[in-house]
Amino acid sequence: MAAWFIFAIALSISLSTQVSGSAVFELDLQQFVNTQGLLANGHSCKPDCRTFFKVCLKNYQAVVTAGECYFGTVTTPVLGANSFTILEAGSFSKPIRMEIVGYPGSFSLIIEAWYQPVDKFNPDLMISFFAIKTKLEVGDEWSQDVQADKETTLRYSYRVICKENYYGERCSKKCSPRDDHFGHYTCTPEGEKSCFPGWKGEYCEEPICREGCSMTNGNCTMPGECVCRKGWQGEFCDECERHPGCLHGTCQMPWQCNCKEGWGGLFCEQDLNYCTHHKPCQNGATCMNTGQGSYTCTCRPGFTGVDCNMEVRECDSNPCKHGGKCMDLENGYRCTCPQGFEGTHCEHSSVTCADSPCFYNGICREEKNNGRSYVCQCPQGFTGLNCEKKVDKCTTLPCANGGLCVIHSKMRVCSCRSGFTGQRCEININECATNPCGNGGTCIDRINDYNCVCAPGYTGRNCNQVMDECMSQPCSNGGSCHSGDNGKSFSCMCPAGFTGPHCALVVRPVPNRELKDSFPWVAISMGVGLVALLMLLCMVVIVLRHIQRQRSQDEQDSETMNNLSDFQKDNLIPASQLKNTNKKVDLEVDCAVEKSNHKHKNYHLDYNSAKDFKDDMSQEDKCHNHEKCLEEKIPLRIYSEKPECRISTICSPRDSMYQSVFVIAEERNECVIATEV
């Protein structure tokens, strides 16, 4: 099943490639000359020959004839009138391109010039017909040609080139450059694959690993890589990995731990000669192994610490004052004092007011102060021991809440952030002071902003939007609230005993007498009366329909008897020859009877039931007693065995000794009519 699926995919890809075409025929229409503005039939165009072209590319023919354009056909829009140079315009672009599936190396080309009248209802007329046949190799070079036909001339050029990614003399070789998981290559002018640097293989899908990478212990997925397999490491994957936890060991194969000299233990973690391996003692100290990786160091004079790495330095306590520099000596230290100070620790000042130590017109006073022999009284704007520092006014004015101190008109001013005020920006502006929150909302002041905590049923930045009236629980006494109009209105469904818009009103109990008086007798009486009226109307309708039906039945019977009484004849047929049927269906007499050159009319008689028919037959036997026959009207229908003729017998109500009999019997495709006494 999978093989069939793969085959179907390959076939569909192959067919789609063929249908799309591998070669492209390009036609460049350049100039058309029709000086006289004539059609092929010799007539002139009115007013000008608005010219468009039909191009047909087909297989090579010894004699080029019109027919199926095997390779393709193109119709251009109107490109000019009479004589013109053909340029790109609107939807028309040059050159005209037609894809060819399986280019054979030769073709036939038909170019027709047509006139398109301005009037859309007039048909297009041919101006000229040009046809060529040629063999042409695939290439970028254009072939120039000029065709002339009577009064017209067409100048054009053409060529056949391979479609993108197709190569060869017939454009039959396909090569699509790619740089993905399935290949990394470009295509040569001959259509061959050319691998990108760092790739190899038939489809350039195999990367070339770093030079020197072990072929057995390493691999790569990208060019220049060297990815080691498990158990191997190093730039070229030629170094084995030791056993995890191995400290001082080596390996010849992965996961080994061979201890170096002076080390022992399962993971080579035990140092058998720590002093030799590590040389922990410094500054000329003597090291002694004490076993199990332990040692002791004997320090030289002037050093201390476990490894004798700490020099004994008295200057670490900063004994020198006033910036004096301390120098460690083998036995003690010495302070080098800056100018103006003296003493073992530079604690005494050697500068006096006579040396004018105060800058910027500072006033010097002789006074012992913290090892100094003078004190400088600085003018405004300066500070320091010798008034050498200029006072920064903003340093003594700290601004709160991120405010910035600035000098404005020789004054210190705090520039506050948005939301703060005050001389030092220490006051937070209360945005809630204007009460922006409506409908009972609570305002919470923020930095340069505020928030509103809305009451139930309201929302929005200022609680000015009604969210749901029912959220404020307007219904009292357990009433259920139902919101409407998108939450802007509500209604309360009150429990028993309460009423009002908010169920706040108590219903007053009604005494038994009032309940009795309030029983809806009027409504019940009206309902009963309405039902009685409807029943009476129904009865009246039924009676009227019955009377109307009876009247129409009497009129029909009377008409029938009147018609039949006029149709009494002397012909007699015995009753034994009559045939009947018990089927209750309509009877029509459609047969023509010829007797004495007379034509008889058709009569229609109806039965009510088969029982009526039997009663009529019994009545017929007693028909000789004409007194009883005169008292009754007995319609009777008797059928013949064939549907073409039917038999009917009727007792006449007239004062006569004859009984009228209307008999229709089939004899030789004729009907006989007679009467019987």
- Residues 100-110 have pLDDT tens digits of 888 888 999 99
Q: Are strands 80-81 and 143-149 parallel, antiparallel or unpaired?
A: unpaired
- Give 74: exposed, middle or buried? Use CB within 10 Å, 0-12, 13-18, 19+: middle
Same domain assignment for residues 132 and 79: yes
**Contact present, 49 and 34 (Cβ < 8 Å):** yes
pLDDT at position 509 is 63
Tell me the residue type at 72: G
Task: Round to whole Å and give the CA distance between 288 and 579.
Answer: 154
HSE (side-chain half, CA atoms, 13 Å) at 427: 7
- The distance of Cα 113 from the centroid of its chain, to the nearest Å, equals 49
pLDDT at position 480 is 85
Torsion sign over Cα 459, 465, 468, 472: positive
Domain boundary pick from 457, 483, 508: 508
Same domain assignment for residues 161 and 48: yes
- The distance of Cα 233 from the centroid of its chain, to the nearest Å, equals 50
125, part of any domain = yes
360, part of any domain = yes
Same domain assignment for residues 619 and 483: no
Same domain assignment for residues 116 and 168: yes
Break the chain down into helix, strand, coil percent, rounded to 5.
15, 30, 50
368, part of any domain = yes
Domain range for 472 is 468-508
Domain boundary pick from 157, 172, 187: 172
Same domain assignment for residues 116 and 153: yes
Same domain assignment for residues 77 and 123: yes
Same domain assignment for residues 47 and 153: yes
Tell me the CATH number at 33.
2.60.40.3510
Cis before 495? omega within 30 = no
Domain boundary pick from 172, 205, 239: 172
pLDDT at position 520 is 74
- Nearest CA to 286 out of 265, 300, 271 is that of 300
Same domain assignment for residues 25 and 160: yes
Burial state string for 125-164 with b = 16 or more CB within 10 A and e = fewer than 16:
eebbbbbebeeeebeeeeeebebeeebbbbbbbbbbbbbe
pLDDT at position 656 is 41
Same domain assignment for residues 23 and 62: yes
547, part of any domain = no
Q: Are strands 286-291 and 294-298 parallel, antiparallel or unpaired?
A: antiparallel
Task: Round to whole Å and give the CA distance between 322 and 343.
Answer: 11
138, part of any domain = yes
Tell me the CATH number at 456.
2.10.25.10
- Both tokens assigned to 271: 């140092």
- Residues with Cβ < 8 Å from 664, sequence gap 6 or more? 589, 591, 640, 645, 646, 647, 648, 671, 672, 673
- Both tokens assigned to 354: 């006579």
Stretches in the chain below the pLDDT threshold 70: 1-21, 291-292, 331, 370-371, 393, 395-396, 410, 484-488, 508-519, 557-677
The count of domains in the chain is 6
pLDDT at position 46 is 84
SS (H, E, C) 361-406: CCEEEEEEECCEEEEEECCCCEECCCCCEECCHHHHCCCCCCCEEE
288, part of any domain = no
596, part of any domain = yes
539, part of any domain = no
Task: Round to whole Å and give the CA distance between 13 and 15.
Answer: 6
Same domain assignment for residues 113 and 41: yes
pLDDT at position 316 is 78
pLDDT at position 50 is 92
SS (H, E, C) 639-672: ECCCCCCEEEECCCCCCCCCECEECCCEECCEEC
Same domain assignment for residues 501 and 596: no
Same domain assignment for residues 68 and 137: yes
Vertex 599: Cα angle to 594 and 604 (nearest 5): 110
pLDDT at position 516 is 45
pLDDT at position 258 is 92
